[in-house]
Amino acid sequence: AFMYNALIRGFSNSETPQNSISTFSLMLNNLGLQIDSFTLAFSLKSASNIPCFRTGTQLHCQALVRGLDTHIFVGTTLISMYAECGRVEFARNMFDEIPNPNIVTWNALLTAFFRRGDAEGAERVFSLMPAKSLTSYNLMLGGYAKLGEFDLATKVFDEMPMKDEISWSTMILGLAQHGCSDKAIRYFRRLHEASLRPNEVSLTGVLSACAQAGALEFAKILHGFIEKVGLIWNTPVNNALMDTYSKCGSVDMARLVFQRMPGKKSIVSWTTLIAGLAMQGYGEEGLSLFHEMEKSGLRPD
RNA sequence: GCAGUCACUAGCGGU
């Protein structure tokens, strides 16, 4: 069972979480292996990642008959699963079933309220929490930022007892996604001045801000930084860099980044460059790149 | 008998 649990867990974070569910039913129906709390937690995570409410409910039943539904890990994953499947009421009822919720369980409930954009519900949960972790603050920050409530987000950011790289990248990304590119760049500078190392997510955020603002010079500085710290191996960062160069009108640099990408090119890498070429009037080159992509074995989405 | 799986938060492309 240990081995199968590892398999299910591996699939749950893959592109094809359905494989976890197949493995689960293989274990249960064909091999007659014992299902434990790990099996259920990992399988439920797959149900969230698909997401599939039906599968999630069936797994809930399997947990129920074994008395594992209120197991702290399984119960917490059930809350997340219902939230991901858009059933916040189910998530909430599940929370009430768990006898000794811990911080992670409370955080899962917070996430559930923000999933449907219910900031007031989340605030109630936050105020009821017997203890809060950094993740709890990051959740409030991210929830407000996603809703564009930057006064509230800034208040959380300024008042939280500590900050980690997630706090910073959440803020930068939230600002960038709401078109506040100047502020996003300002937070990125603050992060850098605080001698904290910007991570890959802050970089995609600030790059997207540069793309909006047409800040080509700053993008070049960021490019240098990315090479220096070795983030050139990170595909999403490279993709964001290409997109920024394209949108700033420097499709030559975008092409160069693409050609020199050391890491694996994803479907997004190709699409970003093709769109950039098309946008700048290099339609033919874009088309031939499209055919090259098909030859390389990737299928367009 | 013991140990081993560890649940909640942020990211890129017509979006």
pLDDT tens-digit readout, A76-120: 999 999 999 999 999 999 999 999 999 999 999 999 999 999 999
A290 touches strand B (CB under 7 A): no
Q: Which nucleotides along chain B are within 7 A of a protein C-beta? A: 4-14
* Nearest nucleotide, CA A114 to C1': B9
Measured CA to CA, the distance from residue A188 to residue A172 in angstroms comes to 7
Query: CA A282 → C1' B11, Å?
Result: 28
Residues 6+ apart with CB under 8 A from A61: none
Kindly indicate whether the ipTM for this predicted assembly is greater than 0.85, answering yes or no: no
**Position of tokens 């790289």?**
A165
Average pLDDT across chain A, whole number: 94
- pLDDT (mean) for A213-229: 95
How high is the pLDDT of residue A244? 97
The rounded radius of gyration (Å) of the Cα atoms in chain A is 22
**Position of tokens 């850098």?**
A192
- pLDDT (mean) for A213-217: 96
What are the residue ranges of helices labelled H in A18-102?
18-25, 37-49, 53-65, 72-84, 88-97
pTM above 0.90, yes or no: yes
Kindly report which amino acid residue has its CA closest to the C1' atom of nucleotide B7. A73
Q: What SS3 state is found at A16?
A: coil
Measured CA to CA, the distance from residue A197 to residue A294 in angstroms comes to 38
Residue type (1 letter), A174: G
Residues 6+ apart with CB under 8 A from A75: A69, A94, A97, A98, A101, A105
Measured CA to CA, the distance from residue A277 to residue A273 in angstroms comes to 6
CB-CB contact of A160 with A167 (8 Å) = yes
pLDDT tens-digit readout, A173-200: 999 999 999 999 999 999 998 878 899 9
Measured CA to CA, the distance from residue A232 to residue A245 in angstroms comes to 15
pLDDT tens-digit readout, A245-278: 999 999 999 999 999 999 899 999 999 999 999 9
pLDDT tens-digit readout, A11-39: 998 889 999 999 999 999 999 999 999 99
The helix (run of H) or strand (run of E) holding residue A112 is helix A103-115
Residue type (1 letter), A40: L
A271 touches strand B (CB under 7 A): yes
Query: CA A160 → C1' B15, Å?
Result: 32
Closest-CA residue to A244 (of A283, A287, A273, A285): A273
Measured CA to CA, the distance from residue A215 to residue A198 in angstroms comes to 18
* pLDDT band, very low/low/confident/very high, at A133 (cuts 50, 70, 90): very high
Q: What percent of chain A has pLDDT over 70?
A: 100
Q: Is the dihedral of CA A103, A109, A115, A116 positive or negative?
A: negative
A81 burial level (CB within 10 Å; 0-12, 13-18, 19+):
buried
* Nearest nucleotide, CA A44 to C1': B7
Closest-CA residue to A206 (of A249, A177, A247, A239): A177
A268 touches strand B (CB under 7 A): yes
